[in-house]
Amino acid sequence: MNRALLIAACFLLVAANSTLAKPWRGIVPLHSTRDDVRKLLGKPTRQGDFYEDYEIPRYTVSINYATENIFTPGDDCDGPAPYWWGDYHVSVGTVLSVEVSFDREIPLAKLKIPDFKTLTKGEPDSTLSVDYFDQKRGLEYGIRDKKVHRITYGPSSIADASLRCAPDPDADTREERVNRMCKQLFGAMIDQRMGLYAINPFYVLSLNFDRHGNAISLRVEPKYYYDWIHIDWEERDGFRNLSRSEYEHLLAQINQIKSRGPLVGSVTTNSSGWREETYRDAVLEWDEVGKPSPLDASKLVRWFTVFYVKRRAT
């Protein structure tokens, strides 16, 4: 066991457990900003609108940030990517969560996690890693074979309660209504945690909901995209992309779940097979297989996504 690594890991936990604000190296979820992170950690190794990754000796750090709510403009509620925490009132560029992944796993017994046996426990993934969640301290532990390989810092249910978005009492009803429609069209979910429906032997459908229970996006993509959860879903010989007729039939079925509204923008393309259409209530993106060419019945579709976007008032 690397003694320096163990000392560093223990320091992280002591700092986190001594206060419900859970700073990591001075970075506090829901309070620190992207500028604060840059001052403390410098230039990230990788970055995007909603994340920044840092490669630090002995561990990797991934920081998630709040972005503009494109689905409900004017609503400042946002939440960290991990599914435990929920939604909070934060401004764009605020840190939502800090994920620290260790290069070498730390024996669970060495860390002395408080009240470990009472923590909320998730389901194992394909690597047999199990998540344990401490809602009071806002900590998620990724544990495999009695060793901690990841700690995620997020909002505390106590210290950050004032920032928590008020729950919508009708959210579950709205979400259940959509799921009932999906079940009628595609059968029961084949993965409850990820919310996946089987479209055919090769494809699955998933939905994302906002805190009001409204569907804000829908994806149809190859089943093998989820082989990190289901090893037996890995891509095999005989995989078949969606035909044009299958694609159009799926779009018609999905319109029954939630309408895109009339088309208001022409097809946008790039140098690859990516395409985009703008509708009154949604944006449709898809990826065509093969060289770019005008739409025709022979084209195959690799995946497609529908984003249900509420337009700003003008």
Round to whole Å and give the CA distance between 149 and 159: 26
Q: What residues pair up with 218 in beta bridges, in sequence order? A: 207, 306
Quote the radius of gyration of the chain (alpha carbons, Å).
22
Q: What is the chain's pLDDT, residue by residue, as a tens digit (314 residues)?
A: 455 544 455 445 444 444 455 689 899 999 999 999 999 999 999 998 889 999 999 989 999 999 887 667 778 887 776 668 888 999 999 999 999 999 999 999 998 898 999 999 988 877 789 999 999 999 999 999 999 999 999 999 999 999 998 888 998 999 999 999 999 999 999 998 889 999 999 999 999 888 888 898 999 999 999 988 888 899 989 999 999 999 999 999 999 999 999 999 878 777 678 899 999 999 999 999 865 455 555 679 999 999 997 654 44
Domain range list for the chain: 3-163, 171-307
Using a cut of 0.85, tell me whether the model's pTM lies above it: no
